[in-house]
Amino acid sequence: MNKSRLEAFSDGVLAIIITIMVLEMKIPHGSDWDELKPFIPKFLSYILSFLYIGIYWGNHHHLLHSVKQVSSAILLSNINLLFWLSLIPFATGWMGENHFATNTGISGIIFVIIAVMWLIPDKNIERALKGESLS
């Protein structure tokens, strides 16, 4: 498989994840500035998650930069990573809805799992590049 298809798919998934997060933020019905106060935790959780996804998007771009062909292992490990990244809107919503209460530690767990899952495509690409240099 050509890497441009994988990049386009991954970019699309990440764009949808960000879109879902912003659509989950409900618009206040009042016109007073005080109406925005309950919205602040949701907005802060959105900012943190947006930055997190943006960092992964940039790292993903750099990771795939050196790849010429995508193997099955790279494809499957990338899909696995995208699955875990797709849980961010859930964690973001829960965290914002509960004003960063301690019971929203699920977001931290998801972020740790994503960090570990990042290592799988990273190692698969590293193996593929070593194989290319041997031939």
Share of the chain above pLDDT 90, in %: 47
Q: Are 64 and 125 in contact (CB under 8 A)?
A: yes
- State the pTM of this model: 0.84
Total of domains in the chain:
1
DSSP states of 3-67: HHHHHHHHHHHHHHHHHHHHHHSPPPSS-SGGGGGGGHHHHHHHHHHHHHHHHHHHHHHHHHTT-
What would the pLDDT profile of 27-64 be if each residue is shown by its tens digit? 878 888 888 887 887 888 889 889 999 999 999 999 99
Range of the domain at 91: 3-134
